[in-house]
Amino acid sequence: MTPPVFTEITERHLRLEELVDLVAAGSANGAVASFLGVVRDHHEGRRVVGVTYDGFKPLAEKTLAAIAREAAEKFETSVAVTHRLGRLELREASVAIACASAHRAAAFDACRYVIEQVKVRLPVFKKEHYAEGKDAWLAGCSLSLPIKR
């Protein structure tokens, strides 16, 4: 039986503790691993003051759910992952992941799997806002090419 998964695409502030509570509910788990992607203040020599995430929400929800189910099956972990859309300020979280399993290796591996798949499959797009007042959409991974899982 596939462990439970929880996924959400949201415009609200992410709360990692909520995801940890979701996955850690079972008493069979001996390990909970987590990951937070947060907005940093620099990128390729430019001073970043914020980021805006745009996304095609219906497909993003389905893709995120698929990624979480794959991780749950592959690593036998409970998985919870949320990605935020909209304007984010420095240090705010764009993606939060929590995974729980009997042992730590699977929990760490599942977290890694989820974030790596999010980066190449999730239909979300990132615009950076710079200190000088300009902004730019970042390059990314084409969905028209086969994705390695």
* Residues at the site binding other proteins, with contacts judged by CB under 8 A: 37, 53-56, 58-60, 62, 83, 94-95, 115, 118-127, 137-144
CB of 143 to other proteins, least distance (A): 4
- State how beta strands 5-10 and 78-84 pair: parallel
Nearer to other proteins, 48 or 115 (CB): 115
Contact 71, 99 (CB under 8 A): yes
CB of 25 to other proteins, least distance (A): 26
CB of 26 to other proteins, least distance (A): 27
Tell which residue, 10, 5, 8, 36, has the closest CA to residue 100.
5
Nearer to other proteins, 6 or 125 (CB): 125
CB of 126 to other proteins, least distance (A): 4
Nearer to other proteins, 25 or 147 (CB): 147
Measured at the CA of 19, the angle between CA 13 and CA 21, to 5 degrees, comes to 130
Nearer to other proteins, 4 or 37 (CB): 37
Residues 6 or more apart whose Cβ sits within 8 Å of residue 54: 85, 124, 125, 126, 127
